[in-house]
Structure 1
Amino acid sequence: MLVGVAPVPGDGDAPASRLYTAKALEAGVLPAGQTPFAVTKKGLTLAWVTLSDKGSQGLRADAAGPAIAETCAASLPLALAQGHLIPDEPAELRALLLDLAVTQGFDCIVTTGGTGLSPRDTTPEATLGVIEKRLPGFETAMLMASLSKTPHAMLSRATAGTVGRAIVINVPGSPKAVRETLAAVMAAIPHGLDKLRGDPSDCGQG
């Protein structure tokens, strides 16, 4: 079972590659010498990023990040879910989003936190600095879902878009808001990813 993926820098003329980490589901013995493996992926890969100064310092438990994983796993066929907890630093978030999307090749990246009006709330700006195609439909659907719960949702500045072949989505910082906003866009994620990968089928069909 695939449990992780990390970039491996190139050496001289050798290009960069990916290191995959797997977990054995059953006990077994491998033959001596080198054993060739082929990496196959059944399902989608999810990376979630929690933006929290206190959380990154160990001063606050992260409940929103795991809520992303649980919500997505309930609706999407996930092959891998990986979490990150970083401070509200836009440069760090931009670098991480690019690494997760372009180098590590995650399908869906969801950030939580930093979407409001506080001085340290810079997640949307950092995200807009790297996304290539904005997804206003996602943003509208999430906003409408939140507004049905509280008028304060109009203060959220969450954005969504694509980076390479990944969909990147900002959601608010509370577990409750995570579940409400992701529920509004979950059904569109697989079709959106198919289109990013060049699916030629007509969106109006079916």
Structure 2
Amino acid sequence: MHLSLRLQPCRTGDGLPLFPAALPGADVWPAHCLTEAVPRPMPRMSVGTRLYTEDGTALFCVTGRIWLTTPPRLSHAHAYSCPMLTALTDIAPLPNMDDAVRLEVRKEGHSLAWITLSDKGSQGMREDLSGPAIADLAAAHLPLCHSQGFLLPDDAARLRALLTDLALNQGYDLICTTGGTGLSPRDIAPQVTAALLDLPLPGFSQAMMAASLSKTPHAAISRAVAGVLGQSIIINLPGSRKGVQENLAAVLPALPHALDKLHGDPADCGG
């Protein structure tokens, strides 16, 4: 798949929304937006998708989706949900800013979101060690095209909203939570996750429980769940770095195959 875009000068790391030329107001949207050169429906691009030049240089990576509010000149128009692109290299001004650049759109690898649930962590009172452990372990076993961490208090409504957005709007492949899997009054990860799932993955939960019980009998009180929401796999993990490593290691061997099947791989499972 290819897109023809009108590029804006930017530096590595800059974020630029991508606005469809097919929608009203494409000619008056703020200058920091990228716009398509050819009016047509915007293809769906999940997080981790990259845009490449003809020589194979990656210019942008999709790192989220945002709602663009209506410019003042279009006071009666709607807001639009647009991909948020992060520049992967410096882009100099073009001789003619109206010229379009044809870019190839493809996604290679998987996208990972990890959510740390911690009241103290969200207030800056505790360093998050378990979240980065998820990113490190996953990157060592899966080809990752994008990863992003999120830090929340132990709040059911905020976790529900974030899981829904990451899975159904932004399109992350793998979403891991850490913390909130036990019996404390503020432990809300399992019930929030279970209420959202399209499909449970009891085998993942059983594998994690078996791995934890081999280390400590206290693992029996874990209520962690795993399952599918949209085309995302969600896994609840413990709140400690050690617990994250033990539990995630128990399911990592099955994750590549699970993600392939979830995304429509037609190959036979037998071997």
For residues 28-67 of structure 1, the aligned pairs below 5 Å read 29=92, 31-32=94-95, 33=97, 34-67=100-133
Quote the Cα distance in structure 2 between the aligned partners of 1:91 and 1:113: 16
Contact 2:62 2:83 in 1 (8 A): no
Q: What per-residue deviation string (whole Å, max 9, x for no partner) do you get for residues 29-62 of structure 1? A: 4634254544422211000000000000111010
Q: Which runs of 5+ in 1 are unaligned?
A: none
1:22 aligns with 2:56: no
For residues 102-121 of structure 1, the aligned pairs below 5 Å read 102-121=168-187
Query: Which of 141, 156, 167 is residue 75 of structure 1 equivalent to?
Result: 141
**How far off is 1:17 after superposition?**
2.8
**How far off is 1:21 after superposition?**
1.2
Q: 1:3 to 1:59 in 2, by over 3 A?
A: farther
Q: Secondary structure at the match of 1:129?
A: helix
Quote the Cα distance in structure 2 between the aligned partners of 1:17 and 1:202: 36
Contact 1:50 1:112 in 2 (8 A): yes
* Aligned AA (2:268): D
Which of structures 1 and 2 has the bigger CA Rg? 2
TM-score normalised to structure 2 length: 0.70
* Aligned AA (1:142): M
TM-score normalised to structure 1 length: 0.91
Matched residues, percent identical? 53
Aligned equivalent of 2:47: none
RMSD: 2.0
Aligned equivalent of 2:67: 9
Aligned equivalent of 2:207: 141
Quote the Cα distance in structure 2 between the aligned partners of 1:171 and 1:3: 28
Q: Secondary structure at the match of 1:181?
A: helix
Matched length: 203
**How far off is 1:186 after superposition?**
0.5
Contact 1:90 1:126 in 2 (8 A): yes
Quote the Cα distance in structure 2 between the aligned partners of 1:133 and 1:110: 16
Aligned equivalent of 2:3: none
Q: Secondary structure at the match of 1:9?
A: strand
- Normalized per residue, which structure has more strand? 2
Q: Which runs of 5+ in 2 are unaligned?
A: 1-57, 71-76
* Aligned AA (1:94): R
* Aligned AA (2:82): S
Quote the Cα distance in structure 2 between the aligned partners of 1:151 and 1:48: 26
